[in-house]
Amino acid sequence: MARAGLTAARVVEAAADLADDVGFENVTVSALARQFGVKDASLYSHVKNVQDLRTRVALLAGGEMIDRIGVAVAGRAGKDALVAFANAYRAYALERPGRYAATQIRIDPAVVAESSVFRRTAEVTYGMLRGYGLSEPDLTDAVRLLRSTFHGYCGLEASGGFGAPRGVQTSWERALDALHVLLEHWPRDETKAA
Amino acid sequence: MARAGLTAARVVEAAADLADDVGFENVTVSALARQFGVKDASLYSHVKNVQDLRTRVALLAGGEMIDRIGVAVAGRAGKDALVAFANAYRAYALERPGRYAATQIRIDPAVVAESSVFRRTAEVTYGMLRGYGLSEPDLTDAVRLLRSTFHGYCGLEASGGFGAPRGVQTSWERALDALHVLLEHWPRDETKAA
DNA sequence: GCGCAAACCTAGGACTGTTAGGTTGCAGCT
DNA sequence: AGCTGCAACCTAACAGTCCTAGGTTTGCGC
């Protein structure tokens, strides 16, 4: 019988595609094996367990996402950069819902440490804010606020949390306007508290 | 044999407690039955299926949460109200992580329509913003931004998303300062777009 | 063409979700 | 006290999922 030609990378990518199709919480070892026309047990040569599989999908998605964002913000500054970052973020979340959901799971700190995804994400995010002239610790606070807002907005949008008729796209643009104003009027931390 | 005295409400409450203990995604029919010293099948007299169980936990948690928030913001306005709302929100998320996680699941719109939780949530949230003098559609945009930010912040905090040493509590307070400034400088929608 | 590592399989155990249908305890009525 | 009915609870069974242990095959490098 012809072999499926499985490989760790191929399995993870298929899992990511499956997540976009049926939702991240529904990517199961069995379903994945079915896609390849292979028995469940065969996947365990390439992936330790479901936990491991999900972590890998998360890292794949996180890498793809920050790459797209990085391209979008390249050569931009100030509000231009903010909007480009935010729109690339949201576009990814809407286009690849399963992969985006994967990026939200808790990941083992040991894995985080040896992956480049988080470093790149931090670099791009801090870089985007460069034009606003913030310095630590305000910078960290601002990054956290922005991440929270993007994360929260896309999460609520994806889960149908916005019931009112007002257009979600319009609200998003308004939110970006507001965040831009906010970054320009950022209440500076006089106390330099740690 | 002495009966456990199960009831739909009691089952749901136990499920919520279990969620706070072991995480919402780990509340399972079997585990719940074990807690009551009862067979799995017995629970199906009180709850349609896991989906139904989770939805009920979500509604319970959502109700508890908005009640606590409502008490916190009562009699306050402006920044006072904003801070009270936000702190009550975050406190609930931190104290009852399982219940809070439950509030984030997607809920059948039919259920949403006939539950009072969402109406109350909207009332309290819009009420909190009254002092800032916003009017529609800016009001809806601001509500969405705030909800997203709180939701996103607590989600990231709970999943360990804040790696840097800067205190999470301090960043939170700074974020509230910033949001207050933002609401006072809200970029008005001149076009009255829908 | 031989060997070996990787790819894939069979078999099976443990847990979870769910249904169908049976039994039993308890409240209230007579 | 005895009956009755309903709700609480049970047994039995099946399907799906995760995972392990150990066996077989395929294809690539020599």
Query: Is the distance between the Cβ of B77 and the closest atom of strand D smaller than 7 Å?
Result: no
pLDDT at residue B42 in the model: 95
Query: Is the distance between the Cβ of B145 and the closest atom of strand D smaller than 7 Å?
Result: no
Structural domain count, chain B: 1
Judge: A182–B181 Cβ closer than 8 Å, yes or no.
yes
d(CA B152, CA B27): 23
Give the position of tokens 């067979």.
B39
Q: How far is the CA of A28 from the C1' of D23 (A)?
A: 26
Say which of A104, A159, A186 has its CB closest to residue B178.
Answer: A186
Judge: A194–B161 Cβ closer than 8 Å, yes or no.
no
d(CA A9, CA A53): 10
Per-residue confidence band for A190, with pLDDT thresholds at 50, 70 and 90: low
Give A189's contacts in chain B (Cβ within 8 Å).
174
Burial (CB < 10 A; 0-12, 13-18, 19+), residue B64, is middle
pLDDT at residue A136 in the model: 85
**Is 90 exceeded by the pLDDT of residue A187?**
no
Judge: B141–A193 Cβ closer than 8 Å, yes or no.
no
The pair of structure tokens assigned to B130 is: 């009254």
d(CA B151, CA B159): 12
Core vs surface per residue A16-27: b (16+ CB within 10 A) or e: bbbbbeeebeeb
Q: In this structure, what DSSP letter does residue A44 have?
A: G
Count helices and strands (H / E) in chain A.
Answer: 9, 0
Judge: A159–B185 Cβ closer than 8 Å, yes or no.
no
d(CA B55, CA A94): 24
Evaluate whether residue A1 is within a structural domain.
no
For residues A145-164, give the mean pLDDT. 88
d(CA A59, CA A65): 10
d(CA A182, CA B142): 13
Is residue A140 a contact partner of residue B164, using CB atoms and an 8 Å limit? yes
Protein residue closest via CA to C1' of D17: A30
**Is 90 exceeded by the pLDDT of residue B26?**
yes
Give B147's contacts in chain A (Cβ within 8 Å).
152, 156, 161
- Give residues with Cβ within 8 angstroms of B146, minimum separation 6: B125, B129, B179
Alpha carbons within 13 A on the beta-carbon side of A146: 30
Evaluate whether residue B63 is within a structural domain.
yes
d(CA B157, CA B20): 16
User: Higher pLDDT residue, B54 or B159?
Assistant: B54
d(CA A12, CA A57): 6
Burial (CB < 10 A; 0-12, 13-18, 19+), residue B175, is buried
| pLDDT tens digits, A167-183 | 899 999 999 999 999 99
Q: How far is the CA of A44 from the C1' of D19 (A)?
A: 9
The pair of structure tokens assigned to A143 is: 């990054």
Evaluate whether residue A189 is within a structural domain.
no
Is residue A40 a contact partner of residue A33, using CB atoms and an 8 Å limit? yes
Q: Is A112 helix (H, G, I), strand (E, B) or coil?
A: helix
Judge: A187–B170 Cβ closer than 8 Å, yes or no.
no
pLDDT at residue B193 in the model: 47
What CATH number corresponds to the domain at position B97?
Answer: 1.10.357.10
Q: How far is the CA of B66 from the C1' of D6 (A)?
A: 37
Q: How far is B175 from chain A (nearest CA, A)?
A: 6
Per-residue confidence band for A158, with pLDDT thresholds at 50, 70 and 90: confident
Query: Is the distance between the Cβ of B163 and the closest atom of strand D smaller than 7 Å?
Result: no
pLDDT at residue A194 in the model: 44
Per-residue confidence band for B16, with pLDDT thresholds at 50, 70 and 90: very high
Evaluate whether residue A120 is within a structural domain.
yes
d(CA B22, CA B169): 24
Give the position of tokens 């819009």.
B126
Domain that holds residue A102: 8-184
Q: In this structure, what DSSP letter does residue B74 have?
A: T
| pLDDT tens digits, A99-125 | 999 999 999 888 998 899 999 999 999
Q: How far is A154 from chain B (nearest CA, A)?
A: 8
Evaluate whether residue A15 is within a structural domain.
yes
Q: What percent of chain B has pLDDT over 90?
A: 78
Judge: B156–A147 Cβ closer than 8 Å, yes or no.
yes
Evaluate whether residue B176 is within a structural domain.
yes
Q: How far is the CA of A36 from the C1' of D29 (A)?
A: 27
Q: How far is the CA of B6 from the C1' of C18 (A)?
A: 19
H or E stretch including A19? Answer: helix A8-22
| pLDDT tens digits, B74-112 | 999 999 999 999 999 999 999 999 999 999 999 988 888
d(CA A179, CA A145): 10
For residues B108-125, give the mean pLDDT. 91
Evaluate whether residue A193 is within a structural domain.
no
pLDDT at residue A37 in the model: 94
CA distances from B141 to A143, B78, B186, B194 (A): 21, 17, 10, 11
Per-residue confidence band for A161, with pLDDT thresholds at 50, 70 and 90: confident
Evaluate whether residue B3 is within a structural domain.
no
pLDDT at residue B1 in the model: 56
- Give residues with Cβ within 8 angstroms of A78, minimum separation 6: A131, A132
Is residue A134 a contact partner of residue A186, using CB atoms and an 8 Å limit? yes
Per-residue confidence band for B24, with pLDDT thresholds at 50, 70 and 90: very high
